[in-house]
Amino acid sequence: MKYFCKIFILLTLIPVASNSQDDILSKINEIATLDQKVMMPMRDGTRLATDIYIPKTGKKVPIIFSRTPYNFNSWGDGKQRNRTHQRAYEALKRGYAYVVQNERGRYYSEGNWDILGVPLTDGFDAFSWMSKQSWSNGKIGTLGCSSTAEWQMAVAALDHPSHAAMVPQGYGAGVGRVDDFHEQGNWYRGGVEQLLFATWLYGVEQDEFKPRIPKGATQEDLIRISRFYDLAPENPPVDWSDKLNHLPLSDLLKNVGGKKEIFDKMISRKPNDKKWFEGGLYHDNMDFGVPSFWFVSWYDVATSPNIALFNHVRNNAKDDYVKDNQYLVIAPTLHCGFTRATENTVVGERNMGDATLNYDEQIYDWFDLMLKDKQNNFKENTPRIQYYTMGSNKWQSSDQWPPKNIEMVDFYLSSNGNANTLNGDGKLTTLKRKINDKPDSFIYNPLDPVTSYGGGVCCIGNAVKGGAFDQREIESRDDVLVYTSDPLKNGFEVTGFIESTIYISSDVKDTDITIKLIDVYPDGTAYNIDETIQRVRYREGFDKEVFMEKGNVYRVDLSKMSTSNYFKKGHSIRIEISSSNFPRFARNLNTGGENYNESESVIANNVIHHSKKYPSSITLPIVKQ
């Protein structure tokens, strides 16, 4: 206890700058006290800044714990701080203590921050400290979305006895390797860098010359100092739609004057670098010890690996109790957009209908069951998997993923050699005998890449808008191959993982293959459903690089896409194929070199083959009628 003094601060003492914040603080003050800037000690002596909201019940209570790299300083009127108060109030009014903590090296927490290098023991040590407090009943639930969720999986592998339940939401950047997915925390997709981390790190990484609080400062001093110094950096605005074009890739942050040390060391790592397995990511060779209620979005950066992790835990956790206590929600929203679903939910340009769900009620019923042992019929009332089907715009449920009643149906690429643009002759057919075997070719120039438009994105500034958008402008490019089915005589639902196999030849050593699944409306509107990419050099696995030779044809199996979408009668199914989707994904410069440190590129003449010998196809999980 020598590391801090017990100072309970009545929330009415906190100056506020808005009526809304004043209201929520008044409500909190009625039912709780706040122990602010508690410096929680870790095993190496580093102290992490923590705010503890304790309900005025006089009883031992369970804890909702959120650990974050973001600012939650209670002074002032910032959006993050307002959200923290709201989350605290939601927990407090239900009889929980709420604890929020900054990761080491962030704001008032001591130590050095590293996106993947923060010790897993920090979470374990925090659980141990909290469970021993006089007001704690010894049970802790973790809650958060994105950066407040991503640390939870690897810590769950440590199986702390007090970590009784978790609710990770939009958690893809905490998933390293799971099954066929080797995204290494969303850094990669199919061996191609996702550029969201350049923009995100620019906005959040704090400079080594930032003001630092003297080590060992008392809690009283920290509270006083925090009223005057927020320690929140505000970097100059950047037009990322322009700046992401910079080459070499390794100099992206240097070019905009950003702090670049973390980016520098990560950009040079290949997908199977041993460093990915030494930090805070969860990998599928680790056990998993915590009952979990997972939340995923259809338009997020890591939908497929997120669902794959849910399946992995259900199938592979050593503890049967843990296996049996895994639940999943998949919403038709953007990253962390669950509670923004309304009776008229629009994602990008596509109206998804009434996508509301009683999220908070379900989450706290889950916590009540797991942290309070309250018999509340959560299991009887909550489907194992709740997923929203776009197109028919309705919530559905299943006991497994994919649902049992699906049939995998192959749709083959076909054309007379002119599938370029939506005005070409590219077709999708389920009849292999009807494949026209004239290959399609296009020129891929890395300096004129296909522009990212919509999709599952996060944290990439003004460079890409996320969601579903009409793709016809993109499909007018000559370097985009377009394959469309005949209008459907009967509608059908596609729900599950989507597989795709493409046969390619090229005159360069290495290139990328992109694919996009589209729902085409009768009026021609073409909404993107999901997309993926594969670097051809990694077609035989991410632990080796195998380059192409001119004249040879290569099979490439792309990482699985996911959706639940109802293609209505009169609609068509379409896929786009190209070699770039930029700036969501880094460009392949086609040289066969390291790519990340290169400025010169080579133009590729890429050929997509479709024939009985080379049956390029996409395989859809269609729900049986």
Mean pLDDT calculated for residue range 31-36: 94
What are the tens digits of pLDDT across the range 132-160? Answer: 999 999 999 999 999 999 999 999 999 99
Residue at which a domain ends, from 388, 415, 449:
388
Q: Are residues 495 and 608 in the same domain?
A: yes
Tell me the pLDDT band of 36, cut-offs 50, 70 and 90: very high
Q: Is residue 275 part of a domain?
A: yes
Q: Are residues 366 and 446 in the same domain?
A: no
Q: Is residue 191 part of a domain?
A: no
Q: Are residues 414 and 487 in the same domain?
A: yes
Q: Would you say residue 349 has pLDDT above 50?
A: yes
CA dihedral 166, 169, 173, 179 (to 10 degrees): 70
pLDDT of residue 101: 97
Exposed, middle or buried by CB within 10 Å (0-12, 13-18, 19+), for 578?
A: buried
Q: Would you say residue 9 has pLDDT above 70?
A: no
Percentage of residues in the chain with pLDDT exceeding 70?
95
pLDDT of residue 79: 58
Q: Which residue has the higher pLDDT, 44 or 75?
A: 44
The strand pairing partners of 188, in sequence order, are 193
Q: Would you say residue 97 has pLDDT above 90?
A: yes
Q: Give Cα separations from 112 to 46, 191, 222, 266, 421 (angstroms).
A: 10, 29, 18, 17, 50
Q: Would you say residue 78 has pLDDT above 60?
A: no
Q: Are residues 413 and 347 in the same domain?
A: no
Q: Is residue 520 part of a domain?
A: yes
| Domain extent for 179 | 13-184+271-388
Q: Give the residue from 478, 445, 442, 441 showing the smallest Cα distance to 602.
A: 445
pLDDT of residue 192: 98
pLDDT of residue 118: 81
Q: Are residues 504 and 602 in the same domain?
A: yes
Q: How many domains does the chain have?
A: 2
Residue at which a domain ends, from 359, 388, 417:
388
Helix (H) / strand (E) containing 265: helix 261-267
Q: Are residues 341 and 434 in the same domain?
A: no
Average pLDDT in the chain: 93
**Contact (CB, 8 A) for 64 and 99:** yes
Q: What's the residue count for the chain? A: 625
**CATH code for the domain of 523:** 2.60.120.260
Question: What are the two backbone dihedrals, phi and then psi, of residue 11, each rounded to the nearest 5 degrees?
Answer: -65, -20
Q: Would you say residue 11 has pLDDT above 70?
A: no
Instruction: Please list, in sequence order, all residues whose beta carbon lies within 8 angstroms of the beta carbon of residue 297, skipping any fewer than 6 positions away.
Output: 170, 303, 330, 331, 332, 333, 334, 335, 336, 337, 338, 456
Q: Are residues 384 and 453 in the same domain?
A: no
Q: Would you say residue 318 has pLDDT above 60?
A: yes
Which residue type sits at 282?
Y
Tell me the pLDDT band of 87, cut-offs 50, 70 and 90: very high
Largest CA distance in the chain: 78
What are the tens digits of pLDDT across the range 100-117? Answer: 999 999 999 999 998 877
Q: Is residue 589 part of a domain?
A: yes
What are the tens digits of pLDDT across the range 205-228? Answer: 877 777 788 888 999 999 998 888
Q: Are residues 470 and 568 in the same domain?
A: yes
Q: Is residue 215 part of a domain?
A: no
- Token code pair at residue 106: 């962030």
Q: Would you say residue 174 has pLDDT above 80?
A: yes
Do β-strands 385-389 and 394-398 pair in parallel, antiparallel, or remain unpaired? antiparallel
Tell me the pLDDT band of 81, cut-offs 50, 70 and 90: low
Return the DSSP state at 76: S
Q: Is residue 119 part of a domain?
A: yes
Q: Give the residue from 100, 201, 181, 106 showing the smallest Cα distance to 143.
A: 100
Q: Are residues 537 and 569 in the same domain?
A: yes
**CATH code for the domain of 320:** 3.40.50.1820
Q: Are residues 537 and 463 in the same domain?
A: yes
What are the tens digits of pLDDT across the range 586-601? Answer: 999 999 999 999 999 9
pLDDT of residue 565: 98
Residue at which a domain ends, from 388, 418, 442:
388
Q: Are residues 554 and 596 in the same domain?
A: yes
**Contact (CB, 8 A) for 62 and 141:** yes
Return the DSSP state at 32: E
Q: Is residue 395 part of a domain?
A: no
Q: Is residue 341 part of a domain?
A: yes
Exposed, middle or buried by CB within 10 Å (0-12, 13-18, 19+), for 404?
A: exposed
What are the tens digits of pLDDT across the range 379-422? Answer: 999 999 999 999 999 999 999 999 999 999 999 999 999 999 99
CA atoms of 465 and 453, how far apart (whole Å): 7
Q: Would you say residue 12 has pLDDT above 50?
A: no
CA atoms of 245 and 452, how far apart (whole Å): 13
What are the tens digits of pLDDT across the range 515-533? Answer: 999 999 999 999 999 999 9
Instruction: Please list, in sequence order, all residues whose beta carbon lies within 8 angstroms of the beta carbon of residue 12, skipping any fewer than 6 positions away.
Output: 25, 26, 29
pLDDT of residue 433: 83
Q: Are residues 359 and 448 in the same domain?
A: no
Mean pLDDT calculated for residue range 427-443: 91
Mean pLDDT calculated for residue range 356-380: 96
pLDDT of residue 20: 60
**Contact (CB, 8 A) for 338 and 297:** yes
3 state DSSP class of 81: helix
Q: Which residue has the higher pLDDT, 214 or 510?
A: 510
pLDDT of residue 7: 31
